[in-house]
Amino acid sequence: MRICILGAGSLGCVFGGLLTAAGHDVLLVNRSADLVERLNRDGLTLAFKPGDRVIPVRAATDCRGQAPFDLIVVLVKSFHTREALEQARNAIDPDTAVLSLQNGLGHEDVIADIAGPASVLVGKTYVGGIMTSPGRVVAGVDGKATHIGEPDGTLSERVRRIADAFSAAGLDTTASDRIMGVVWDKLLVNVATGALSGITRLAYGDLYDVPEVADCARAAVREAMAVAAAAGIAVSFDDPDRPWRIAGEGLPPAFKASILQSLEKGSITEIDFINGAVVRWGERHGVATPVNRTLVAAIKGIERALSPIHTP
């Protein structure tokens, strides 16, 4: 398959590296010329528990001159999606599937705007990646599932084909007929810990030690579950404690949720797509979301206090 990883950062490199190693024709796109040069010169190093694996990869700073891809996997941060896809327009044709594996809600609308509704695939992943230096990524793949699907839940041939290709590459992937439920399951996990990590500045080891934080996390998840129910979306959890627990499962005590990582880099965060999405969906469906609203306000305030934020 001809695949573009749009936003080859921490997570994109894990998917791009493993799909390249499995024999697919993969282009890793990252706007950093320095990173692209290193990847083309030295290959990508994926660090797994048993040891490092160096994978020769093909990288570029954009999609200029590229023929249309079979699949584009969107893995820029949520606030970069529109810009990145606009820049990749020439590499999208009616047969190109565009799959977001980003956290949060709302990416599919942006993809549909630019690539057309027929291109849109929906996905979520529990795979993790942290780029520890340019071109070296610590990968968390074992036991971490990825789910992809058509927005309407159809188990199409293309979804099955892509899921099979990902699984054969070592990325355990399911073709899902309830992908919107899967999307909300992951949203609940991010709602539980993301904003609270950013506000408290605590890594997971400490975050889980503060009972008041746990109470607040469960309250935020409870609101999001009420919104999902009002919207007719069936999530897998009935206890708000589960998403809170799952967020930290298998991660080292020093692990920091991505919202905290963004703030520590001086960047804005994906809060609008996570707790912010719960607030917007709550307004749409008549469900009050005061806890999520407050978490959004606090993170927005921190982003402002850290300004001048680097322009993303």
Ligand X SMILES: CC(C)(CO)C(=O)C(=O)O
Ligand Y SMILES: NC(=O)C1=CN([C@@H]2O[C@H](COP(=O)(O)OP(=O)(O)OC[C@H]3O[C@@H](n4cnc5c(N)ncnc54)[C@H](OP(=O)(O)O)[C@@H]3O)[C@@H](O)[C@H]2O)C=CC1
Active-site positions?
186
Residues 210-269 that bind ligand Y (CB under 6 A): 258
When binding is defined by CB under 6 A, the residue of 270, 276, 279, 303 that contacts ligand Y is 270
Binding window for ligand Y (CB under 6 A); candidates: 23-31, 38-46, 219-227, 297-305: 23-31
Q: Tell me phi and psi for residue 130, to 5 degrees.
A: -135, 120
Tokens at 57, concatenated: 């990869």
In the complex, the residues that contact ligand X under the rule CB under 6 A are 103, 128, 189-190, 193-194, 247, 257-258
45 touches ligand Y (CB under 6 A):
no
- CA distances (Å), 275 to each of 9, 90, 230, 270, 293, in order? 23, 33, 16, 9, 7
**Nearer residue to ligand X within complex by CB, 66 or 174:** 174
Q: Tell me phi and psi for residue 45, to 5 degrees.
A: -100, 120
When binding is defined by CB under 6 A, the residue of 31, 158, 161, 280 that contacts ligand Y is 31
Binding window for ligand Y (CB under 6 A); candidates: 3-11, 45-53, 148-156, 164-172: 3-11
59 touches ligand Y (CB under 6 A):
no
| Virtual torsion, Cα 189, 124, 269, 74, nearest 10 deg | 180
For residue 152, how far is the Cα from the chain centroid? 20
Cβ atoms of 158 and 40 within 8 Å: the answer is: no
Q: Are strands 51-55 and 44-48 parallel, antiparallel or unpaired?
A: antiparallel
**Partner whose footprint covers residue 149, from ligand X, ligand Y, none (CB < 5 to 8 Å by kind):** none
**Partner whose footprint covers residue 7, from ligand Y, ligand X, none (CB < 5 to 8 Å by kind):** ligand Y
176 touches ligand Y (CB under 6 A):
no
**Partner whose footprint covers residue 189, from ligand Y, ligand X, none (CB < 5 to 8 Å by kind):** ligand X
CB atoms within 10 A of CB 11: 25
Angle at 107 between CA 106 and CA 113, to 5 degrees: 100
The contact set with ligand Y (CB under 6 A) reads: 7, 9-12, 29-32, 75-78, 80, 83-84, 87, 102-103, 125, 128-129, 131, 258, 270
